[in-house]
Chains A and B, each alone.
Chain A
Amino acid sequence: MEPAQVVIIGGGATGAGILWDLSLRGISATLLEQGDIANGATGRCHGLLHSGGRYAVKDTDTARECLAESRIIKAIAPHCVDDVGGLFVQCAQDDPAFFDQWWRAAAAAGIRSRRLNADEARELEPSLAASILGAFTCPDAHVDVFRLVLANLEAAVARGGRFKTYSKVTNIHTANGRVRGVRYRNTLSGEEHEIPCEMVINAAGGWAQSIAALAGVEVPIYCDKGTLLVLNHRLNRRVINRCRKSSDADILVPAGPVCILGTSSTRVPGPDGLTASAEEVDRLLRLGEEMIPGLVDTRILRIFCGVRPLYAPKTTEAAKGREISRGFALLDHETRDGVGGFVSIVGGKLTTYRLMAAEVCDCVAKKLGVDAECATDKTPLRPAIDRKTHQRALHLLPHPVADKMERRLGPEVLRVIQAIEARPELAELVCECELVTRGELEHVLGGTTPVPAYTISDVSRRTRLGFGPCQGTFCGYKAMLAGYQTQCWTAAEAANKFSAYLHERSKGQSFIHQGKQLEQLELNHDLYGAEQAFCAKPGVQDGN
């Protein structure tokens, strides 16, 4: 296998950000990710681009950091960010002293905020309870996590970066106290490969501990699980935070056509095998109901669990999940553990991924003797689409369809436009809920994109196909046929991939124990037969 100067382990936001940063500095790097993109914490969070409001009271520095970074990300990746703004809502049940604390802390952190009375707040967000006392505004936003990771990866590839999905690192070779290379296994084909390298960056998040162990190094990671609910339709325009000390079900984030309610906090032994219970789900809904009446009856599309991978050196292990610092730590294993060429980046949060990457890359560049400064704060991840292309798209497709496709594909959209102009049937909306055209679908499956899709779930992450109410029942089938047609999957492979896709989709729905989603599942079950059956029982494993 082709050697690289640096191998990055972990394809979440941090890893992708590191690949981009190194590529910009001219350092050759390869990223290895065991699943598809954003397999870990990145792909299982709210997608909240923090203004810092959630940290203002507890930790002004972190708040300032978030504020600065969120501004940068809005500038470098506007196509990934839905800059909707946010509210910190004062509920009648909560501590009024905290409201004042928050107001002062936000000011101290430089977060621009307006004070709203209850009527003003409810005019902005009519779904809020009549009993609320008021709200503070803040510049929160939603970031599409998959798009963000993709953006970093695609930008890196354009600058010579390399990466592989479905590549699980099985060994880190060391000799004479230095890293020499890594071995990984392609989880789709089973083949094993080696990459000789000078440095390894452990950006594996929840798996950082097990990766570090491959190099004989101990990195204690405290895994704190949070459960989130995806609700069928958008209940709010802006991000809604509950103005109180961080607790469960505090946040409702609008995410395209859905909204995401979360979250909770439970210690778990590791990042795999996460489950959610019916009680947990009920509790989240009841708490959310206090802010937004009617939430309890709304349709849950999907339940997923993610792990906050917190760095917990011995001294702070006694503290509970939320209280362990959400700041990050850069561990230079040369000085710490006598293993040269190996660093780990642990902890942190989505909003500060770029900053984390910058710190790691500063360290790595220095070690490699490369004199290049970080430029990721000033370099857009993607060039803008020119007006002519935009007009061509509008000519072919309804405005919302064109708009979403452009945001997803960027300048690549030209290829899809050309394809649709040549074959008008490609304008068909395969996923009617997320407005994914057949043209886009074939493009993503076509194998020419910088970040190839190997499974139908991969397609979903790149296009949001199947993220709507039917959860892939209808559009997933058509995507399978498209994969058969464009990817040269055999019919048997296609059917297997669809079966696997349904299984993946069902895992996120199997905890839903009542309501319309259960009926949607039953329709799916009736349609595809007992062979695709899944149990509608709470507590079933979620590996998604």
Chain B
Amino acid sequence: MRLDDLALDNCLKCSLCNTVCPVLAVHTQYPGPKRLGPELERMRREGISTDTEWVEYCLGCHRCDLACPHQVHVSEMIARAKAEHRKPLIRGLRDWWFARPGLLGRLTTILPALSNFALSMKPARFFMSKLMQITPQRRFPSYTWPNLRSPTITCKETQRVVFFPGCFIRYNRPALGRVVIDLLERNGVAVEVASTECCGVPAMANGAAAEARAVARANIKTLAKQVDSGMRIVTACSSCGHMLKTGFGGLLEDDREFAGAAQKIASQTFDLAELLMEQADAGKLNINFRPANLRLAYHAPCHQRSQGIGRPWYHLLRMIPGVAVEDLDAGCCGMSGTYGFKQEKYAVSMEIGKELFTSISATLPQMVVTECATCQLQIEHGTAFKAIHPAEILLQAYDERRSG
């Protein structure tokens, strides 16, 4: 056992983490990452039971980690606290489902149209509010037939990658998955679609560490052959990307069988934009863009910033002639996956996103681009603007005819 795998000893109590926490900024009782992270961790090591409901209010945005001058693994400490947190029955049941979007997705896409209809009905939402504490204010994203398959590799591509689609693409928007594949193929990259499970972020966020480990192991097994052959893994969803790049949140560090593989995956995972950026830097990016006339606003998701790759989408979009991009840089949107669906957290979620909403309204773009699905949901919920994945803009710029 490593004595200090979370860099607990690095904490100098400077409170910089507190200054960037989106929850602390809007919620006067929230103790903040310094307390819920290193302070509780230190007490846990003393053997004191430190369970507090407040850990549930952590967004898991990792801004605290990025702010820390000494790389204390603040959010990981809070995640551990979440895993030990005991919830009241209803919340526990609700969060059990929220932790498993893969399962939810498989169930709802048996009959997607019916599921969508049912989920959108007022009685259903009333039921969910009263009995499951799911906010009635939001609509669920719609589910479709899952039909994302690996394309047959036809032309001579220089590179092969395996695409980790994630639950949103797989169950809600497979069309986006096809956009990703298309984009990569036009840049000389052949794509295999992995039949992977949920990346585990919703499980971690909902305190279901065992579930997160289970899906992590399953994913490692599914990707084993490709990873061993040195193939790179591509993600288009920031949260999936972050999870894979951290070796599944560090959950398998002590797992003798899977730790090595998790590390390999971490080092071989690339965000879609990162890969395209690499092509651009090597002068190999397909820049046959037809000019557009677009004013866009780009919102970098928290899980994109936490990857430390700069802002490649911002730069890629600007390569399209006629496209103007404003980098909003207006804080966290407040949605954080399942967080914003929770009744008790809805108000906090919207309050956090206020700054971003205001910034968007002030910028008046034609649309907002962001690569995180739930950021898109939040932006569309909190403003009158449409939000789409930047990959769609890039692909549209290649096409002669406009595609869905």
Tell me the residues in window 9-50 of chain B with beta carbons closer than 8 Å to chain A beta carbons: 9-14, 35, 39, 42-43, 45-50
**Does A297 reach chain B (CB closer than 8 Å)?**
yes
Question: Contact at A294–B39, with CB atoms within 8 Å?
Answer: no
Asked whether A234 and B14 contact (CB < 8 A) given A127-B3, A295-B3, A433-B39, the answer is no
Known A232-B8, A295-B3, A298-B4; contact A470-B47, beta-carbon cutoff 8 A: no
- Are A432 and B39 closer than 8 Å at their CB atoms? yes
- B52 neighbours in A (Cβ, 8 Å): 398
Q: Mark B35-77, 1 if CB is under 8 A from A, else 0.
A: 1000100110111111010000000000000000010000000
Mask, B188-231, CB within 8 Å of A = 1, is: 00000000000000000000000000000000000000000000
Q: Which residues of B contact A298 (CB under 8 A)?
A: 3-4, 9
Q: Does the CB pair A516–B42 fall under 8 Å?
A: no
Report chain A residues within 8 Å CB of B43: 257, 400, 435
The interface centre, meaning the residue of B13, B49, B50 with most chain A CB atoms within 10 A of its CB, is: B13
Assess the B49–A400 pair: CB atoms within 8 A: yes
Residues of A within 8 A of B1 (CB): 126-127
User: With an 8 A cutoff between CB atoms, is B122 at the interface?
Assistant: no
- Provide the residues of chain A in CB contact with B9, threshold 8 Å: 232-233, 298-299, 515-516
B45 near A469: Cβ-Cβ < 8 Å:
no
The 8 Å CB contact of A257, one of B4, B11, B14, B46, is B46
Residue interface mask A266-307, B partner, CB < 8 A = 1: 000000000000000000000000001111011100000000
Quick one: closest B residue to A521, CB to CB? B12
A294 adjacent to B10 (CB under 8 Å): no
The answer to whether A233 and B42 touch (CB under 8 A), given A400-B49, A400-B50, A516-B70, is: yes
CB distance from B53 to the nearest CB of A (A): 11
Mostly helix, strand, loop or mixed at chain A's interface? loop
Q: Is the CB of A257 within 8 A of B42?
A: yes
CA distance A519 to B12 in the complex (A): 8
Report Cα–Cα, A433/B12, bound state, in Å: 12
Query: Could you say which of A126, A299, A473 contacts B13, with CB atoms under 8 Å apart?
Result: A473
Query: Taking the complex as formed, is B2 at the interface, i.e. its CB lies under 8 A from any CB of chain A?
Result: yes
A519 to B11: give the CA distance in the assembly, Å.
Answer: 10
The distance in angstroms between the C-alpha atoms of A127 and B1, with both chains bound, is 6
Minimum CB–CB distance for A463 against chain B, Å = 16
Q: Name A399's closest neighbour in chain B (CB-CB).
A: B49
Give the shortest distance, in Å, between B13 (CB) and chain A (any CB).
5
Contact indicator A523/B14 (Cβ below 8 Å): yes
How distant is A528 from chain B, measured CB to nearest CB, in Å? Answer: 15
A404 to chain B: closest residue by CB: B48
A5 contact set on B, CB distance < 8 A? none
* CB proximity of A304 to chain B, nearest CB, Å: 19
Q: Which residues of B contact A294 (CB under 8 A)?
A: 2-4
The smallest C-beta distance from A276 to any residue of chain B, in angstroms, reads 20
- By a CB distance below 8 angstroms, the chain A residues around B14 are 523
Complex CA distance for A216 and B280, rounded to whole angstroms: 91
A520 contacts partner chain B, Cβ-Cβ < 8 Å: yes
Q: How far is the CA of A230 from the CA of B39 in the complex (A)?
A: 17
Q: Does A98 contact B (CB under 8 A)?
A: no
Bound-state Cα–Cα, A4 to B35, Å? 50
Give 1 or 0 for each of A443-477: 1 = CB within 8 Å of chain B CB.
Answer: 00000000000000000000000001110011000
Nearest CB on B from A29, distance (A): 37
- A293 and B1 CA atoms in complex are apart in Å by 9
Confirm or deny: A180 has a beta carbon within 8 angstroms of a beta carbon on chain B.
Answer: no
Of the residues A234, A299, A435, contact of B45 by C-beta under 8 Å: A234
Q: Considering the chains assembled together, what is the distance between the CA atoms of A484 and B170 in angstroms?
A: 63
Instruction: Name the A residues within 8 Å of B46 (CB-CB).
Output: 233-234, 254, 256-257
Q: Given A127-B3, A234-B47, A295-B3: A432 and B8 within 8 A (CB)?
A: no
Contact with B along A97-127 (1 / 0, CB 8 A): 0000000000000000000000000000011
Q: How far is the CB of A172 from chain B (nearest CB, A)?
A: 45
Interchain CA distance A399-B1 in the complex, whole Å: 29
Query: Which B residues lie within 8 Å of A232 (CB)?
Result: 8-9, 42
Given contacts A295-B3, A469-B13, contact A233 B8 (CB under 8 A): yes
Does A56 make an interface contact (CB < 8 A)? Answer: no
Contact B12–A400 (Cβ < 8 Å): no
B3 and A297 contacting across the interface, CB-CB below 8 Å: yes
User: Does A71 count as interface, using CB distance less than 8 angstroms?
Assistant: no
CB pair B13 A233 closer than 8 Å: no
Query: What string of 1s and 0s marks CB contacts (under 8 Å) between A227-241 and chain B?
Result: 000001111010000
Q: State the CA gap A435–B43 with chains docked (Å).
A: 10
CA distance in complex: A508, B246 (Å): 38
CA distance A435 to B1 in the complex (A): 28
Docked-complex contact A433 and B42, CB < 8 angstroms? yes
Q: How many angstroms between the C-alpha atoms of A232 and B10 in the bound complex?
A: 10
A452, B313: Cα distance in complex, Å: 64
Distance in Å: Cβ of B176 to nearest Cβ of chain A:
45
Interfacial chain A residues near B4, Cβ < 8 Å: 233, 294, 297-298
Rounded to whole Å, the gap between the CB of B332 and the closest CB of chain A is 25
Nearest CB of A to B69, in Å = 9
Q: Chain B residues near A126 (CB, 8 Å)?
A: 1
The CA-CA distance from A473 to B12 in the complex, in Å, is: 10
Q: Taking the nearest CB of chain B, how far is it from the CB of A63, in angstroms?
A: 28
Which residues 236-265 of A have a CB within 8 angstroms of B? 237, 254, 256-257
Docked complex Cα distance between A435 and B31 (Å): 14
Is A520 in contact with B8, judged by CB distance below 8 angstroms?
no
Q: Which residues of A contact B39 (CB under 8 A)?
A: 432-433
Cα separation A400 to B1 with both chains bound (whole Å): 26
Which residue of the partner chain B has the closest CB to A128?
A: B1
CB-defined contacts of A254 to chain B, threshold 8 Å:
46
Inside 8 A of A299's CB, which chain B residues have their CB? 9
| Chain A residues within an 8 Å CB radius of B8 | 232-233
Docked pose: A257 CA to B45 CA in angstroms: 7
Contacting residues, chain B, for A516 (C-beta < 8 A): 9-10, 12, 70
A294 to chain B, nearest CB (A): 4
- A234, A256, A469, A474: the one within 8 Å of B11 (CB): A469
Query: How far is A254 from B46 in the complex, measured between Cα atoms in Å?
Result: 8
Q: Please, how many angstroms separate the alpha-carbon atoms of A537 and B357 in the complex?
A: 53
**Can you list 10 A-B contacts (CB < 8 A)?**
A233-B8, A233-B9, A254-B46, A398-B52, A400-B49, A468-B42, A474-B13, A516-B9, A516-B12, A520-B12
**Closest CB pairs A-B (n = 4):** A294-B3, A299-B9, A126-B1, A257-B46
Contacts A232-B8, A469-B12, A519-B70 supplied; 13 other A-B pairs, CB < 8 Å? A126-B1, A233-B46, A234-B45, A234-B46, A235-B45, A295-B3, A298-B4, A435-B43, A469-B11, A474-B13, A515-B9, A516-B10, A523-B12
